[in-house]
Every structure is written in structure tokens, then in C-alpha cells.
Structure 1
């Protein structure tokens, strides 16, 4: 299919005497012809980066390209290094399959050129429709496979995994991991992301994974993927997390948190890797939302809370009675105690961070000791308090919302 599409782009470019750029919705490049005619900075950047810069996406949005049924003329923009363009939508049964972009300069397009592009668009549409049928079949098979693989009580799970790996040209017996992207949502909007948007997002992740084949599916504002491990899980995450966020941006979406489970061999360990990935994504969206990722192998002491409820019961399990400190939602005591412990018990550093008087700090610490019935001079007590307050921060308890984030390494 790709050879057919590229051949069509080359033939159209030769007939028009100008370069042809074909992309899928979401600004995903499908085919780029040999260079003809004018070439601007915007096209060069798109070719080199294989993606569209955010400022270009913002500029293009003014012309509502996704809703267009006719060619759209986009004026040039010197600040963006952009020559004028004409964008031709390619649709089938009303659904946008792709767009053909032509630079409208040196010389400008004429009416006959529109007819030439229209003929080529019909050919491109047929190619993409056949591809979309196959893509949809594969997406349905992937979703069914993941739903099977991530349940622990289904027989023949290894056969399901082997078939899914074969479908994506991943060697059987490869070390694999589960990746979870949580909180997939429409950017700057309270509109709930639709299942169709999630499926489109998942499909694009499957074709834009930077040379690393993945088996993706999406449901309930969550994308799940099984990926082969290249080197180790951290290296795999560094390669895939930016791709996920870039594809989400192209679709007008954002990801709250990304998590990656431990590497496993075979289907039996996938449910554990999935559980770990979900937990890592939850931690990521709490501590560093909308950026980076967390993986199980490098989560450190945050693993402690994977099996503990993120509520008052869990906090009291870590340090009995700690929940009493949160009964007054307006109290500064939790944030003060957290900062004091984060500073290693250094009063001067705590005063500096909180911008309070020394006497005020000691009053608050004394009041916390009184409420909890303990002494902060005991190292073991300070350790359990610190752990309990960290869990409270993960759980979003009041008084810790603006407290400093723990100094755990965020994976870029």
C-alpha cells in the first residue's frame, strides 16, 4: 500500500511540477514526493522532524481543515517561514482519509491543477480505504488480544500473544512490557474523549512508534500497549513516551500520566506488568502530570504503596493515627510537617521554604506532635510519618496540594 501511495504522489508531483505532501488526519505524513518547485522552512522542518510543530498546528486550525470538503487556501506567514498552500481533503463516505498539501507559489496553482489533483485524490482515496479496512481489522484483533492477555483466567493466552506478535512483525519469544497512558483527554476542554477518538489515537500510536512496533488498544480514557523491550524498560520508555505524547498532541489530546511495567517473557507475566504499569501511570499523573513517564523498575520506594489503598485507611496503615492530621482541611500542619521532613528535619531550611517565623514553625510542629501523640525526635517515627505523608500527597489529601514534590527522579 505504501508503495502505491508513494507512486501516486510521485506521478502527481511530476504532472504538476511541484512537490506533493500527503498526510493522514492528525498531521501524520503518509507520502512525500521528490522535490519540485518552491520549498519553504515549514516544509523542510516537517520533512526533517516527521511531525508538525505546535505553532504550525495552531496556525492551521484557523482554517478548520478537518471539516473541509473543498480545497482550502492558506495564506503564507513570514514569521513561520510558510509559503501559501492549498490543502485538498480526501474523503470516503464523508470520512476524512487524508489531505494533499501543495505549495501555492512559483507559479501559483491554476484551475486545471485542481482537476489534476481531484483525479489523483480518487486514486489515493481507494488506496487508503483498502488500507483502513485492513487497519481496522488489525485494530479490532489487537483490542481483542489485549483484553484476553490482560486477564489472568483465559486459557491459551500464549497462543494469543504469539499471534499478536506475529501480526506486528515482533519476534516470538521477545521480552515484552505493558505500557499504560492514563487520563487521555481533549486539550483545554471539558468534553469527554470519545471511543472513536481513542481508537484513532491507538491506531496512530501503532504506526508512529519510532521504529518500535507496539500492539495498542484504547478504552475508558486509557491507552494500553504491549511493546517489545529494547535493551531495558527505561530505554523503551524513553523511546515510546515522547511518541505517545506527540501523537496525542496531533489529535488534540493530552495524556495525564504514562506508566510502564516490568519486562516479562511470555503471556503469564503480562497481567502483573499491566498492574504495575497502571500504578506507575497513577504515580506519574500525581507527581509530574502531562510530562515524562514512570517505570516499575525505577520507581524506588514508591512501590511501597502499590498494594495500599490511597485513602485514610491506607495512611493509617503506614502510620497509625496519621489521618487525624487531615480532619481540619484548612490546617497548615500537614504541609508544615511534610516540608520539615522533606528538609531532613532542618528547621532553617523549612522556615525558608515556608516563609514562616521560627516560633511559628516550632508551634506547628509541637501541635502536630500533640495531635498525633508522638515525638519527632524518634527517627523511626519520622520515617513512618514521611512515608504516610507521601501516600497522602499521592492521594491528593488537602494541605499537601502545593507542598514540594518529592525528590524522586522523574524519567524524561
Structure 2
């Protein structure tokens, strides 16, 4: 069975035969094999140096429908993205599109009938990419199953198998991002798992936790995201930055809003939400009427009117700091529990 080294050797031979720079990229447009003896355009140079394709160059694939091609396609020179004319040979294995081979042809002197060796090389590259992709998909399937076990709770055996599969330490630390960020393992509910390698970062789940505590890390990330949707503004936007919102997040299910302050439930039950919104904003800005009027885009007189209505309904004087604090926590709980 062919190997990646054999593909690179084939690319080197093709370069020597055609006298032109050759680049093979996978379906995600990541450079995999190349040989750059001979002149190259600025786009090819950046691709090789940075190991990625510029957005302008990447757009060419959709523009010319190259992912649907079944035979070589010549793309014209495009000075606007600093690309010379080139041949594009699709990589397909058993009909499945796996990538593209690019052969620079600045003077357009390379005819299609000269591309036989390039097509042979593309078939070899496609076969190796198919094998690699299948192996990666198998590993990902096993990884996802082990992660699912850890999401159910601590599982030492799952940790050992996952560490061996991914070649990470058994005591590896992890952080969770919500919403998901590139570079991690995909988790349900638009989250991603990131193994800490160089140092912790300000992740949604807060400080790193051991892999065996993955369920707790996910809980923290989910709670932080839910709190943010409820109006929390942690700085930084992580579990560690929630501050007093941790009291709301960790409030037991049998703790009712009424138990914290019945006024919050009364405001939440009103047919219109203007009093609830005003009360919530006022408690969050320390009773500052001017700031509340500015944030709500209403006149201060409107705020004073609403203050009177809030006092009539709840008995709370919003200028009373202690009473305002109790109501604030209850209003936070209302907002938090209203989130999915």
C-alpha cells in the first residue's frame, strides 16, 4: 500500500519532469505535498511558507467549481489575487473528492495531453489521502465514544484509553469553549474540548480541569454561556469571572424565585415586560436613574413613573440598597431559568 513518502517522491519526479512547481492540497485546502523547484507566484510562496491557502486563492475552488471537476482544469492568471495561470487536477478516489493538485503554468505552454504523469500522481495522492482520512475518521469515532463516556461522569478506563488513542498524558488538563472554537474536539451543544498543552487560556469553562472531570468542565461552560444569555457580563467571559452569578448558577432547583424575593415573580408575571426590564436594569446599575433612562432610550420621567409602579407592586423602594440587592438576585434567577 502506498505511503505519504511515496507520494512526495512522485511529486518530486513530476516537478523534475514538467519543470514546474507542484502543490497537492487536501479537501480542506491544506497543503500536504509540494515541490517548488522553479519559479512560483506570490500566492504559492505564501501557501508554502504559512502552510495555508489565502482566502482569495481558496475562493477559486468555488468560482470554477473545481470540487466537482473530474478532469484537469486550467485556471487563468488572476493578478488580483497574485496567481499565475495553472492547471488544477482533481484528486478523486472511488468517486470521492479528496483534494486538488496545482501545477503552475505561467506561460500556458503546458498542454492537457502533457498531463498524463500528473494524473497518475494525483491518483496516487488520492489513494493515500483516502486511506489517511479513513484512519482519521476511525480514530475520531473511537475518541467520540470515549468522550461520551466521560460526559456521563468520571471513568478512569475511558481516560486511559483516550490518552493512549490521542497520545496525551493520562493526567492531561482540559478546557471547554462555548460556543465551539477551532482547534478542539467537537462536543454536543456547540462546544469544543481543548487539551491544555502550552498553558491555560481564558476559556468558557474557566481554569483547566483534569480530563476525568470533563463532565464538570462542560457543566461550567454551559452555565457560563447560559448566564451570559441571562445578562451576566463576566470579565473575562469565563466561569472564573462569573462572580456573584455563581450563586445563581449553583442555586438548588428547589430554591424558588419567590423565596429570594416575591417581587421578582410579581414583575415577571406582568403582561408587559417594561417593569421587569426596568427593575432589572436599575438593580444592575445601582439605582442610577440617568443611566437606566439612557440605556432604555426613555425619558427620566418614564423611569420615575415605573419606579412608583414597581414599588406599588412589590413594595420595594429601588433607592433602598439592601432591598434592591435581594430583588437583584431574584431577578437574576428569573432571567437565568428563562434560558434554555
TM-score by length of 1: 0.68
| Bigger Rg over Cα | 2
Deviation at 1:376, TM superposition (A): 0.9
C-alpha change, 1:387 and 1:86, in structure 2 (3 Å) is: farther
C-alpha change, 1:16 and 1:296, in structure 2 (3 Å) is: farther
Matches within 5 A, 1:277-292: 277-283=221-227
Root-mean-square deviation (CA), in Å? 3.5
Report the Cα distance in structure 1 between the residues aligned to 2:276 and 2:257, rounded to whole angstroms: 13
Q: Which ranges in structure 1 are unaligned for 5 or more consecutive residues?
A: 185-204, 238-258, 398-412
2:12 maps to 10
Report the Cα distance in structure 1 between the residues aligned to 2:205 and 2:176, rounded to whole angstroms: 5
Q: Which runs of 4+ in 1 moved over 6 A?
A: 285-288
Deviation at 1:309, TM superposition (A): 8.8
2:21 maps to 19
Deviation at 1:223, TM superposition (A): 4.9
Residue deviations 1:202-243 (CA, integer Å, cap 9, x gap): xxx6xxx4xxxx6x3555x54543513532243xx4xxxxxx
Deviation at 1:9, TM superposition (A): 3.3
2:282–2:318 contact (8 Å) kept in structure 1: no
Q: Which ranges in structure 2 are unaligned for 5 or more consecutive residues?
A: none
C-alpha change, 1:273 and 1:369, in structure 2 (3 Å) is: same
Report the Cα distance in structure 2 between the residues aligned to 1:93 and 1:79, rounded to whole angstroms: 36
TM-score by length of 2: 0.80
SS of residue matched to 1:383: helix
Query: How many pairs are equivalent?
Result: 334
C-alpha change, 1:274 and 1:342, in structure 2 (3 Å) is: closer
Matches within 5 A, 1:11-410: 11-40=13-42, 42-58=43-59, 60-152=61-153, 157-174=155-172, 176-182=173-179, 209=183, 216-219=185-188, 222-225=190-193, 227-234=195-202, 237=203, 259-260=204-205, 262-265=207-210, 267=212, 269-283=213-227, 294-308=237-251, 316=258, 318-328=260-270, 330-393=272-335
Deviation at 1:89, TM superposition (A): 1.9
Residue deviations 1:241-268 (CA, integer Å, cap 9, x gap): xxxxxxxxxxxxxxxxxx435423462x
Residue deviations 1:268-301 (CA, integer Å, cap 9, x gap): x23212322333344567779xxx9954334433
C-alpha change, 1:358 and 1:222, in structure 2 (3 Å) is: closer
